[in-house]
Structure 1
Amino acid sequence: MDITDNDIEKQDSTQDYGILQEMGDCYTSVGNYTEAHKCYEKAASLGPDEPGPYVGLGVIALQQNQLDDAEISFRVACRLNAHCAKAYAGLAMVAQQRADYKRAFEMYLRCLELDVDNLIALLGLFQTSCQMGSFAKVIHYLKLYLNMHPADTSVMFPLAALYMKDGRFEQSKKILLELLTLNPDDKNAANLLEEVEHGLAKEKKAGVQIG
């Protein structure tokens, strides 16, 4: 099979797109949004069917509290790729900023259906679930994540807190003891464990009285 000039140009264009996307991500990570914006714009022109540059533009707009612009960018990314988990996480963060917790919850769930390993979506789902008082689904995804990352204390604490809110004190205690084994100086975990122990004591006392 002969390689044509068009094939070479297409390959070069793909490589340039990838470089520009990475540069945009790097500039965003250090807060240089002006240069990041330029990189994403150029990347979008080279890869018009790629969602990545629009996710990047959405992140910049979100960081600058330009929620309408952020939503538009994330929607474009979703239109280009209906399976772009980061775009749904972006839409969820926009909704959360607007205190539209129901929509944020739905978008975080959609993100996690596509990428159960997305920590931003997991923690966002935890925050919105606390606002809504709906814990079952977020507990499910936090457990899935911990199965893959059993020593991730940033997820262990929210899961323990949700178990406690759901009245499942034994499960909460088990996770908190594991967390404190990994990080003995975690004061938040120690304080929550005290609350859990208090809840268990009340349950035991109520059980004795009923008996």
Structure 2
Amino acid sequence: MDLNKQGIEYMQEGNYEEAAKCFSQAIEENPKEPIYYVNFGNLLSAVGDPERAIAFFNKALEMDKELGTAYYGIGSLLYNQEDFMKAKDMFEKAIKAGVDNSDTYFMLGMTLIQLGQTKLAMPYMKRAVELNENDVDALFQYGLCLAGESVIDEAINTFLRVIELEPAHSDAFYNLGVAYAGFKNDNKKALEMFEKALKIQPEHVLAANGKKIVSDALSE
């Protein structure tokens, strides 16, 4: 097995020391291969050394400006550092460079949400779901985007898909309660959803407030 593949296997196993040895040797033997620097950057990200990781990603980009995985790596680190504007630029460059996978669209969508641009985030979350229809996080965020833009029927269907995949997703039940109460005027259905959220997470304050509001409305 070549050093790069061996290093990736060690990383997946959590054996970072051996992975570092493999990637270091790979770089030493072929210092002009940018993917080795990306993999070393991923390793440094995994062990919590973002500054050195970014340096390795940038080194890879010096060799190949179209290496989308390097842009993605930098974007993820910037996102974790809450530098959302720069992170957005990196994820956009990753997609432009051909990194056409669910994770990249999801991260770009999340970055836009953090920037308060929910409407712009929606098509990226939709694409993330199209590429991985079982991604609970992407589905939930897509549902929130839809609800935020008052596309309620589709939002409800999306939240229902979330709880189909993850029956203990209390926030999905809570948002279903909001949708039924606030947009469908169905307080009985809303109460059912809030109660399910609270059964899963008894300290869910928003669900408790929602339950009180619809319970009071039903008792009038």
TM-score above 0.5, yes or no: yes
Aligned length: 184
- Of the three residues 133, 154, 157, the one matched with 2:140 is 157
Q: CA deviation at 1:108?
A: 1.6
Distance 2:71 2:32 in 1: 17
> Normalization by structure 2: what TM-score?
0.73
| Contact preservation (8 Å) 1:44, 1:50 | yes
Distance 2:78 2:168 in 1: 35
Q: Where do residues 129-140 of structure 1 align in structure 2 (5 Å cutoff)?
A: 129-140=112-123
Distance 2:53 2:16 in 1: 14
- 1:27-86: CA deviation from partner (whole Å, max 9, x where unpaired): 222222221111111112333332221112112222233222111101112222222222
Alignment-derived partner of residue 30 in structure 1: 13
The question of 1:44 aligning with 2:27 is answered yes
Alignment-derived partner of residue 100 in structure 2: 116
| Contact preservation (8 Å) 2:34, 2:64 | yes
> Are residues 29 and 74 of structure 1, via their aligned partners in 2, closer, same or farther at CA, if it must alter by over 3 Å?
same
- Counterpart of 1:59, as a letter, is N
Alignment-derived partner of residue 194 in structure 2: none
Alignment-derived partner of residue 74 in structure 1: 57
- 1:75-102: CA deviation from partner (whole Å, max 9, x where unpaired): 1122222222221111112212322111
- Counterpart of 2:161, as a letter, is E
> Are residues 166 and 47 of structure 1, via their aligned partners in 2, closer, same or farther at CA, if it must alter by over 3 Å?
farther
Q: CA deviation at 1:187?
A: 2.9
Q: CA deviation at 1:182?
A: 4.4
Percentage identity across aligned positions?
22
| Contact preservation (8 Å) 1:122, 1:138 | no
- 1:91-145: CA deviation from partner (whole Å, max 9, x where unpaired): 11221232211101121222233222141x3333243223211124432122223
Cα root mean square deviation, aligned = 2.3
> Are residues 184 and 56 of structure 1, via their aligned partners in 2, closer, same or farther at CA, if it must alter by over 3 Å?
same
Distance 1:46 1:188 in 2: 50
| Contact preservation (8 Å) 1:54, 1:77 | yes
Alignment-derived partner of residue 127 in structure 1: 110
- Of the three residues 80, 86, 97, the one matched with 1:103 is 86
- Counterpart of 1:132, as a letter, is L
> Are residues 110 and 199 of structure 1, via their aligned partners in 2, closer, same or farther at CA, if it must alter by over 3 Å?
farther
- Structure 2 runs not aligned, ≥5 long: 186-220
- Counterpart of 1:55, as a letter, is V
| Contact preservation (8 Å) 1:21, 1:53 | yes
Q: Where do residues 181-196 of structure 1 align in structure 2 (5 Å cutoff)?
A: 181-196=164-179
| Contact preservation (8 Å) 1:88, 1:107 | yes
> Normalization by structure 1: what TM-score?
0.75
